Chain A
């Protein structure tokens, strides 16, 4: 009797798993089904390499958007990664545990600040400052990078702290026993041991930066132009989808799905890197 009950449960769970995975598959298939034929029809040259985005005339070149997304993310990482990792090193290696136990949950709470709030702060605080002191429109690639960098700080910091705390104390004790200072122990031993966790946290932060939409729409200016300087207004891939998806039909809509495919592939590559980094970490142990 119990056996039959168990079998029923197993079937039920399998059904749930199939429907959950099915719905996730649905979304992936939907996007690829709309986007890939479009890319094949238009030709990758006219889509990825062309700077001419004028849907009303049938031109769907997303090169400026690709460059914008890449540069904005790169800028965000320049700000978010060093600050986040430095903060994590300081908080986990040079600060007493009691302080860290208060600060870390606070940082994790900060992950919950909505992105539109960051965008708003960018519009009223950062953009005017940049316009006044650095020139340009204020609504620019630089503004977007800074805001995104600040946004991913809690993520990078908190995951890096996790990576550091999971390094066994024996590593540190061993180094200290050999006469190293705390800093030498940290940068010669602990950093190397925690490397894959830090990489994973950075990749996660990068993923969040690539995928951010609302804050970027508010501060980047949304100009469809390949940027020549950090003070130029730019439009990222995500902003392009958000600005046009309400009314896009036919080929225009397919172009937006194709943009989704590009984003998908970028995230898949980032994830693959992160997973291999994590695997190395478990293999070492």
Chain B
């Protein structure tokens, strides 16, 4: 019995030793925005299939983690979907690869179909506590928001302006979870990336403007932010190749087809 155990362990240890070789330049880590993550994963899948000498791996974690990982070296490219890059990102090279809009969502059975920026600010600050104050039913408002390190949240709060998020707010750590939470609770309101919308939730007009591609391109819809790819210094090698792929017609096409907006 003991010899069998030792044999298995020996195999494991030799596997470790063999696998310990990290070949330079073959693995590229992209980390950051959870809103752009599904798109980055799709692009990485396509990029990896086209050429064999480097592999792109995509992690999530939020825009702030993206910035931090690039600075610390854990990732080579950071994804951040922020309106304004924070001071920590000042010494990083950046390039816009896509644009994303933030949709404000409520449950499909909520009567409210349109909200002004002021109303949205008041709701998220907690001054509007009941849906009837905004034209809906006599039900309390429940807020669902992203966590503090989210680029979606930072952009949302920056554009709406003066948002001091109510401490009562439910916090979820990805756009998908926000969508699921709002879809299941009639009295909730939330915000998420346009790219993860589906039929389960209802999108609200902001200042009378719909969250559609035409309105965004025309500049009438306010809640839009760019998606940045950040690198330490000018991108080179595999980083450069991947960024170029994302900016290429094929890459931008993939982005458009899956619901986001191209960089230009």
Contacts and interface: CB of A to CB of B under 8 A. Distances in A.
Contacts of B188: 137
Interface stretch (B36-44, B90-98, B128-136, B164-172): B164-172
Most-contacted residue by chain B among A223, A232, A247 (CB, 10 A): A247
Interface string B130-162: 000000000000100001110000000000000
Given A128-B184, A137-B142, A139-B181, A244 B148 contact: yes
A243 B167 contact: no
Given A55-B148, A131-B185, A223-B168, A243 B173 contact: yes
Interface string A43-72: 000000000000110000000100000000
A223 B68 contact: no
Contacts of A56: 148
Contact of B168 (A128, A138, A225, A247): A225
A244 B68 contact: no
Interface stretch (B5-13, B59-67, B210-218): B59-67
Interface in B162-219: 167-173, 181, 184-185, 188
Given A128-B184, A131-B185, A247-B149, A137 B170 contact: yes
A179 interface: no
B62 A246 contact: yes
A224 B147 CA distance: 11
Interface string A188-222: 00000000000000000000000000000100011
B184 A247 contact: no
Contacts of B148: 55-56, 243-244
A249 interface: yes
B185 A243 contact: no
Contacts of B171: 221-224, 235, 243
B185 A138 contact: yes
Range of interface residues on chain B? 20 to 34
A223 B169 contact: yes
A160 interface: no
A233 interface: yes
B169 A243 contact: no
A222 B172 contact: yes
A249 B68 contact: yes
Range of interface residues on chain A? 20 to 34
B168 A233 contact: yes
Interface string A232-253: 1101000000011011110000
B185 A137 contact: yes
A249 B71 CA distance: 11
Interface in B52-81: 61-62, 64-65, 67-68
A198 B188 CA distance: 43
Contacts of B185: 131, 137-138
Nearest to B187: A137
Nearest to B164: A54
Contacts of A131: 185
Interface string A123-138: 0000110010000011
A131 B188 CA distance: 12
Interface string A247-266: 11100000000000000000
Given A128-B184, A247-B67, A247-B149, A139 B167 contact: no
Given A56-B148, A137-B142, A217-B173, A247 B68 contact: yes
Contacts of B172: 222
Contacts of B142: 137
Contacts of A233: 168, 170
B119 to A, nearest CB: 21
What are the 5 A-B residue pairs with the smallest beta carbon separation, nearest first?
A247-B64, A246-B65, A222-B171, A247-B149, A225-B167
Interface of B: 61-62, 64-65, 67-68, 88, 142, 147-149, 167-173, 181, 184-185, 188
Given A233-B170, A246-B65, A247-B67, 18 more contacts: A127-B184, A128-B184, A137-B170, A137-B185, A139-B181, A217-B173, A221-B171, A222-B171, A222-B173, A223-B170, A225-B167, A232-B168, A243-B148, A243-B173, A244-B147, A246-B62, A246-B64, A248-B149
